[in-house]
Structure formats: C-alpha cells, structure tokens
C-alpha cells in the first residue's frame, strides 16, 4: 500500500505545478522533492504505479520530460482513505482526509453499500466489532445470531413476519401429546459438499437435552428413511416452534468441524462463510442450497472502528429517541431491552433490602438522564418500563428506611460486569457509578471480552436480551437458556418461571405467559429493564436494495434481498 510519505511527495509536486501538466526535467524533480536523481526516479515510478501521474521521460540531455497528473489531491486522499477503510483503520482514513469528517462520511457511503462486481451483486456493511462466534451450540450475541441464521438450517424457522416455516423438515405432525414426527428433505448438502445424513439430524437434536428448553426431550427414532420421531417425557404441543430456536440448528458431526469452526462454521444455509477475521466477514451465496439460491451473491461485513452497532448500511442515520412519529417505515423498537441482571444467589442482591434498593436507585429514567445526547440519538435509545416495548412493570413499593439501614450495615463494594466492546455499556456503567456514589456506595467494574467472569464474582450484570423474534414465546428460550438467569436466581423463583413455560408447552391452545414472566422478573428484583432502541432499515435509505425488511435482530435477511438496477427504461 502507498505510504503517507508517497502521498506527501505527490502533494508537493501537485502544488509546485499547480496541478497542471508540465514539461520538466528530472533535475527539477530532484530539487522539488529534495532527493537524489535515483530516488526521484523511484518516486515517479511509484506514483505512476498508483495511477496518480504519468511520467514520459525524454531521451537526450536537455530535453524536457512530460509530467501528467491523473488525479488531484482529493482523489489521492480519498483513494488512500478507502484503502485504510478496507483495513478497518478509520483513524488513518480521517487523517489523510485532513480530519474532515464530512469527507470521510462521503467516502464511507460511496465505498460501502450496494455494488455490482463482475456481474455479481455485492453489499458491504460496516460494523464496529468482529463477528467471531458463529457456533449456535455456544452463547451468541444478537448480530452473530443473525449471521448464524444465514449459515445454518434447523428443522423449522421463522420468516421475516415471525411465521413458522419449513426448513430441513418439509412437513411435520403431532402423533400424540409426547411425540412429533418430522419429514426431512433428502439431498441436502453442507457447504463443503458433504451430504446431510439423517444421523446428523438425530445427533444434533439429541445434543439439545442439555438445554433447559429441551430438557424434557426423551429420545429420537428413525422409523423410516428421512423420517424422525421425537419423543418427550412431558406433553409438548410447541415442538415445531422450539426447533426454530437458534440453539436447535442442525450442525455437522464433530469429524467435519475444523479447529476454527466457531469462526468458519459449516452449515446447510443459504450462505457460506468464506472469510472471517478481525477486519471483515464475507458470506458467499451457496449454489447448492436446497431452497431458493440467494440473489445477493456476496455480503461483506467490514469492521470499522468508531461506528456504532446501530449503523448497518443502509439504515436510519439519525433516529430521534422517543419520537415514534418521526421514525421511518421499517424502523421498530427491538423486541427486548438492555437490562441489569441481579445476582440473587451469591451477590449483594441476595439480601432483599439491597435488591429493593438497587431496583429503585438504578432505574431506567435516572440512568437515561445521564447518557450523552449523541449516544441517545445515534443508537435511538428510549427508557424501558418493562422487558418488552409497551410493557409497564415496576418493582413493588419498598421501605426506604430499611434499605438505607441495609446500606450502612453492609459495607462492601458492588461488583458490576459488562462486555467491554459494547458501544453503550461503558457509558451506562459511568452513570451507575455516579448514582451509587451519590449514596456513598463504591462500585467495582469488571470488563470482559471473550471469557466472562464467574457468576460468584459479580453482583450485577449489564446485559442485552438479544432475542431473535418479536413473538412473545421467544422469551422461553431466553429465560431458560440464554440469559443466565438460572445461575443468578433463587432456586424456587427459577422453578416457578420454568413451570410457567412447561404449562404453556403442555397445552395446545394457551397463550404464552409472557406478561406474567416479565412482571415476576421485575417485581422479584431479578431484572431491572433499562432501555429499548430503534432497530431496522428505513425505506428512504435502502436505495436500490429491494425487500430489505428489518427483523427482530435489527438486520435484514440477506437471502431475501436483491438489487434493482438504476435508470432502467421501460418501453411502451
């Protein structure tokens, strides 16, 4: 890549000749650049290789050579900025653009987005961190869940309207209260070309027994080729919905997985992972996909520092927090919230007085008031009054004198953990620290990356819900398996919440008890809801991208979108 020094040498020549093509001699160039004849030749050759100039040396002493400028200073700066963006070095890109944020924004928008390359449709999206954990068998964050849904298939899936659809299973039926039969598609292939076998499906389902949501799973039989029977220890009328969970994706056998399977997974979904490092993730349409082959050939997610998680191009650039009428079509609140999870087992909140105090003191409105206005606008944050938008669940009224007494009797610091790379968690932690200091309480913050601390070391976690669907029954998997509430809740409390899910699952025509679960989590001082945020794609920002409908994860289904060519004439 061209160096900043080479760019500076170009600018010196450009300014000396006022950007005009010139007849000159090599000796003149050496004087302008303050270098030897040999170095001058090297510089001119490099500038020509970059396509910035043309140099036509004249034969014979005293003859004038021809210097032609192919680009101006701005062109060169923006070319270098694009190269730095490819490396995720937005600071360097800003420097070569003379720290002009408006020019940088223009370069980003022109480089990212939709393009055509060799007849293929490509979209480039910026993101603020690498997407390194794509293994559905392990805990995943919201954006990784979205990518995994593009790479893997399950027995069933939810579409963009949260309607249950066939996936690897093309049909299913309930044989009895404790038995479901699924008919599996033949001829399905993994991204490496290997055929999906029935035993792969069976082993993937059997592995779900370790999950609370599937703990009642008893066994899986294969009564006929491409047919599986799933037996449960308890009545289950919701199995097709449960098998659409991210954790229930069908994975290849261990023998087919490489050491870097977390970054480079092999699935049967519409896209395969062809590149995944700290600078970019590249998804390529899988020609052997058993469904409709994606129209978008390549999806590139570029890791660009200083870009917030809400910036998914094309997206809403400046959401107005709290002003729903100002939000464009296609933008909606996320189906969960950012929340505080209290350790009611071994943390300070095991004492009821402290749990009540924390729920009152660290409420969403007080923390919201302390956030920066730019953060609120850029991420579209609104205070949460329940774990889902539109819910209003508040802690039960408490005896403040008892809380204050507990504060003075228990002289210890409060340990608060959060994921260090999240764009808002550091600022939320600062607000919490300020509020606790007002009451003379010390806070110790534990910032973690890939490896999270043990639960015994933490009193409060700052967490995102990251549920993958707007359906209320999506809370079941989050509550039982993805939230870590089991490890942080009192045994009787978690059993009661689990029983609510079991009762719903065992009856065919009962609404999922979402409101009751949300109410008990808040009133039981287990969870403190903090914020919802606007997610999605504004139709005004989609340009030529068609069918880019936002899902509950704030992204759009890559396999369903396509690029409409501009300026096509319609003949009459």
Per residue of the chain (572 residues), give pLDDT as tens: 456 678 778 778 877 777 678 888 888 888 888 888 888 888 888 888 888 788 888 876 778 888 887 766 676 777 777 777 666 566 667 677 766 666 666 666 666 677 776 778 888 887 878 899 999 999 888 889 999 999 999 999 998 889 999 999 999 999 999 999 999 999 999 999 999 999 999 999 999 999 999 999 999 999 999 999 999 999 999 999 999 999 999 999 999 999 999 999 999 999 999 999 988 899 999 999 999 999 999 998 887 665 433 333 333 233 323 333 344 455 678 899 999 999 999 999 999 999 999 999 999 999 999 998 888 887 789 999 999 999 999 887 655 544 554 554 556 689 999 998 888 899 999 999 999 999 999 999 999 987 889 999 999 999 999 888 889 999 999 999 999 999 999 989 999 999 999 999 999 989 999 999 999 999 999 999 999 988 765 554 455 677 777 776 778 888 887 877 766 565 55
54 found inside a domain: yes
**Phi and psi at residue 157, in whole multiples of 5°?**
-155, 165
Tokens for 66? 């021809």
- The residue out of 231, 250, 269 marking a domain boundary is 250
Per-residue pLDDT, 273: 97
pTM (two decimals): 0.79
In a domain, 477, yes or no: yes
The answer to whether residues 354 and 483 belong to one domain is yes
Measure the CA–CA gap between 291 and 295, rounded to whole angstroms: 12
- The C-alpha atoms of residue 208 and residue 164 are separated, in whole angstroms, by 20
In a domain, 560, yes or no: no
Query: 377 in a domain, yes or no?
Result: yes
The pair of three-digit structure tokens given for residue 154, joined into one six-digit string: 């399950």
The residue from 48, 71, 94 where one domain ends is 71
CA distance 238 to 503: 11
CATH number at residue 442: 3.10.105.10
DSSP-derived secondary structure for 83-147: HHHHTT-HHHHHHHTTT-HHHHHHHHHHHSEEEEETTEEEEEEEESS------TTS---HHHHHH
Check whether residue 360 and residue 496 sit in a common domain.
Answer: yes
- Pairing type for strands 179-184 and 217-224 reads unpaired
Q: Is 465 a member of any domain?
A: yes
By DSSP bridging, strand 113-117 and strand 120-127 are: antiparallel
Residue at 561 is within a domain: no
pLDDT of residue 308: 34
- Is residue 49 domain-shared with residue 187, that is, in the same domain? no
Give CA 452 to chain center in angstroms. Answer: 18
Tokens of 258: 């490489």
Residue 496 token pair? 């009661």
DSSP designation for 550: B
Number of domains in the chain: 3
Last residue of one domain, picked from the residues 43, 71, 99: 71
Identify whether 120 is part of a domain.
no
The answer to whether residue 12 is domain-embedded is yes
357 & 462 share domain: yes
Which domain, by its residues, includes 52? 3-71
The dihedral formed by the CA atoms of 215, 216, 218 and 220, expressed in degrees to the nearest 10: -80
Residues 342 and 238 in one domain: no
Domain CATH number, residue 208: 3.90.76.10
The CA distance from 551 to 330, in Å, is 9
Whether residue 314 is preceded by a cis peptide bond, meaning omega within 30 degrees of 0, is: yes
- CATH number, domain containing residue 15: 1.10.10.10
């Amino acid at each position: 890549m061209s160096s900043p020094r080479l760019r500076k040498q170009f600018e010196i020549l450009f300014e000396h000749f006022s950007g005009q093509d010139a007849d000159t001699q090599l000796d003149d160039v050496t004087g302008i650049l303050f270098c030897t004849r040999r170095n001058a030749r090297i510089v001119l050759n490099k500038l020509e290789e970059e396509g910035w100039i043309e140099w036509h040396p004249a034969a014979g002493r005293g003859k004038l050579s021809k210097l032609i400028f192919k680009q101006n200073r701005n062109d060169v700066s923006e070319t270098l900025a694009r190269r730095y963006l490819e490396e995720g070095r937005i600071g360097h890109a800003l420097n070569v653009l003379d720290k002009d944020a408006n020019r940088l924004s223009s370069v980003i928008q022109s480089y990212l987005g939709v393009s055509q390359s060799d007849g293929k449709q490509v979209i480039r999206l910026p993101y603020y961190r690498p997407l390194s954990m794509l293994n559905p068998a392990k805990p995943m964050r919201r954006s990784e869940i979205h990518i995994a849904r593009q790479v893997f298939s399950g027995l069933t899936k939810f579409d963009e309207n949260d309607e249950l659809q066939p996936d690897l299973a093309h049909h299913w039926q309930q044989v009895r209260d404790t038995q479901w039969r699924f008919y599996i598609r033949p001829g399905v292939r993994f991204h490496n070309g290997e055929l999906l076998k029935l035993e792969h499906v069976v082993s993937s389902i059997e592995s779900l027994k370790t999950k609370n949501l599937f703990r009642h799973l008893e066994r899986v039989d294969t009564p006929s080729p491409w047919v599986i029977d799933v037996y449960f220890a308890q009545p289950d009328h919701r199995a097709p919905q449960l098998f659409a969970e991210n954790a229930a994706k069908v994975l290849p056998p261990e023998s087919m997985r490489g050491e870097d399977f977390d970054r480079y997974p092999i699935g049967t979904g519409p896209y395969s992972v062809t590149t995944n490092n700290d600078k970019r993730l590249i998804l390529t349409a899988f020609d052997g996909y058993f469904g409709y082959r994606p129209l978008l050939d390549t999806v590139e997610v570029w890791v660009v520092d200083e870009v917030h998680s809400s910036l998914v191009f094309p997206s809403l650039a400046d959401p107005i927090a709290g002003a729903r009428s100002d939000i464009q079509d296609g933008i909606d609140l996320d189906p969960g919230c950012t929340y505080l999870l209290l350790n009611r087992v071994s943390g300070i909140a095991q004492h009821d007085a402290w749990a009540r105090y924390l729920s009152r003191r660290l409420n969403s409105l007080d923390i919201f008031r302390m956030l920066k206005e730019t953060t609120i606008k850029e991420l579209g944050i609104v205070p949460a009054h329940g774990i889902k938008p539109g819910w209003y669940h508040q802690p039960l009224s408490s005896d403040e004198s008892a809380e204050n007494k507990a504060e003075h009797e228990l002289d210890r610091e409060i340990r608060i953990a959060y994921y260090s790379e999240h764009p808002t968690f550091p600022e939320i932690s600062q607000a919490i620290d300020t509020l606790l200091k007002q009451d003379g309480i010390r806070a110790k913050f534990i910032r973690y990356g890939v490896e999270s601390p043990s639960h015994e070391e933490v009193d409060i976690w700052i967490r995102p819900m990251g549920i993958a669907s707007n359906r209320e029954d999506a809370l079941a998997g989050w509550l039982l398996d993805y939230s870590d509430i089991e490890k942080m809740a009192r045994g009787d409390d978690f059993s009661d919440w689990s029983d609510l899910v079991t009762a719903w699952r065992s009856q065919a025509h009962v609404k999922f008890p979402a409101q009751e679960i949300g109410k008990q989590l808040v009133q039981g001082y287990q969870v403190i809801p903090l914020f919802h945020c606007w997610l999605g794609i504004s139709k005004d920002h989609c340009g030529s991208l068609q069918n880019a409908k936002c899902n509950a994860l704030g992204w759009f289904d890559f396999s369903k979108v396509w690029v409409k060519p501009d300026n096509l004439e319609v003949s009459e």
